[in-house]
Amino acid sequence: MTETRHQVVITGVGLVTSLGVGREAHRDLLMAGTVPDKVTDSERFAPYTVYPLPEIDWAAQIPRRGDQRQMENWQRLGVYSAGLALDDAGLKDDLEACASMDMIVAAGGGERDIAVDTLIVEESRKRNDREQLLNEKLTTELRPTLFLAQLSNLLAGNISIVHKVTGSSRTLMGEEGAGISAVETGYARIAAGQSTHCLVGGAFVSERLDMLMVMEAIQGLGKDRKAPFWNADGTANGMNLGTSGAFLVLESLEHAQARGAHIYARLDAVLGDRGPRDDDRMEKRLARLADETGASTGGEDTVVFSGAAGYPELSARERAFLQSRFPTTPLRTVGALFGHSVEAHFPTAVALACLALDEDAPISPFVAGEDAIATTAANSAVVTTIGHVRGEGIARLTRMS
């Protein structure tokens, strides 16, 4: 018996970054032919620079105040961008389609209560019975409702509640690898005929002291707000966290055509993997992923979206691989313009690829004086992400005429 493989297309893009809210805002900036101005904040968390949350009217996608109150910002951002994707795909008010829609969410841990953390640290300086102190403060200072709201799978739960997406639901954790796996799983289910339409994506908010502390614990953050993303020797200058809510509606080609949906691009292949990175193992793994996804040497009508995290040596290795694999292809470093959004980083890059493939214009450079000028509209795109600690992924997309 021959297995039927279905073509997978992307019909909805919901995107919120520091540059703005929605597909149109990003399209206008990225296809204007000039380098967009970065939106960063180097004051609130000095000496670190973050790409902040833009001004958002949450009620536009989360109308009930009660729903808004019981979410943290990263959950609000995810629910909001998921609503944008459903709107964009024309499925927001189709209750039957939403009821049968599968959902795969890439999520991190919830935001910490910084005030409680600070209180525990300060009190522990005055007492030696720190285990008892910890139990006391966690039972008296931490609100149970806040703790429950931190659960990672509640992002998917809130999307179900607000937008009535009630098919199967999966929540994946594991930093950048979770974002890769979310898109990969949605693609694989539709291609195999196990699903006809799926909502995939994730969200990350950069303005979090707890995440800045985690990243700085391994000395990963950039500290010079004026430093470019790339140095002249090809190394990077450190990670700057970025805010992003990125959700995509994936459909089988038959399902999309049957309802007359607008198709941004065909998702030809998505693969992720993980393993040791010593010696040249990472480069060999990337080469295999590129071969298996059909990511060829490209050309001027292809654009590569690199998810380089910003770690000096690691990102330099990624860039060297891409330049050797795609020597004549315009390269766009997502983190240089949007910051690094961890779980949401790969879905963000795929969303940007969709916008580029949907337009009859070349995509703008992301880094002035560094990025090669695209001379023609893109007909294909390659998306890469290498996790700051582990996990690699590559996707290939093609313009649909």
With beta carbons less than 8 A apart as the criterion, state whether 198 and 190 touch.
yes
Q: Please report which confidence band the pLDDT of residue 63 belongs to, taking 50, 70 and 90 as the band edges.
A: very high
The more confidently predicted of residues 369 and 104 is 104
With beta carbons less than 8 A apart as the criterion, state whether 186 and 106 touch.
no
CA distance 337 to 339: 6
Residue 3 predicted with pLDDT over 80: no
What is the pLDDT averaged over residues 109-132? 84
Residue 245 predicted with pLDDT over 90: yes
With beta carbons less than 8 A apart as the criterion, state whether 18 and 36 touch.
no
With beta carbons less than 8 A apart as the criterion, state whether 283 and 394 touch.
no
CA distance 337 to 307: 11
Residue 1 predicted with pLDDT over 50: no
CA distance 237 to 59: 38
Q: Please report which confidence band the pLDDT of residue 145 belongs to, taking 50, 70 and 90 as the band edges.
A: low
- Look at strands 169-172 and 102-106 and give their pairing: parallel
The verdict on whether omega for the bond into residue 276 sits within 30 degrees of 0, i.e. cis, is no
Q: Please report which confidence band the pLDDT of residue 2 belongs to, taking 50, 70 and 90 as the band edges.
A: very low
Residue 260 predicted with pLDDT over 70: yes
Of the listed ranges 17-21, 137-141, 145-149, 156-160, the least confidently predicted one is 145-149
CA distance 218 to 203: 23
DSSP 8-state secondary structure symbol assigned to residue 372? P
pLDDT tens per residue across span 182-238:
999 999 999 999 999 999 999 999 999 889 988 998 888 999 989 999 998 989 999
Distances (CA, A) of 31 to 24, 25, 243, 358, 366: 10, 10, 21, 10, 11
Q: Please report which confidence band the pLDDT of residue 393 belongs to, taking 50, 70 and 90 as the band edges.
A: very high
The answer to whether the pTM exceeds 0.85 is yes
For residue 123, what are the contacts with CB-CB under 8 A and spacing of at least 6?
133, 137
Length of the chain (residues): 401
Nearest Cα to Cα of residue 185 among 175, 176, 195: 195
Strand partners, 272: 393
For residue 226, what are the contacts with CB-CB under 8 A and spacing of at least 6?
none
The more confidently predicted of residues 143 and 95 is 95
% of the chain beyond a pLDDT of 70: 97
The alpha carbon of 373 is separated from its chain's Cα centroid by a whole number of angstroms, namely: 25
Tokens of 377: 């509209």
Residue 146's pLDDT is what? 56
What is the pLDDT averaged over residues 241-259? 98
For residue 296, what are the contacts with CB-CB under 8 A and spacing of at least 6?
none
3-state secondary structure 18-50: CCEECHHHHHHHHCCCCCCCCCCECCCCCCCCE
Number of neighbouring beta carbons within 10 Å of residue 212: 16
Nearest Cα to Cα of residue 272 among 135, 199, 172: 172
Q: Please report which confidence band the pLDDT of residue 150 belongs to, taking 50, 70 and 90 as the band edges.
A: low
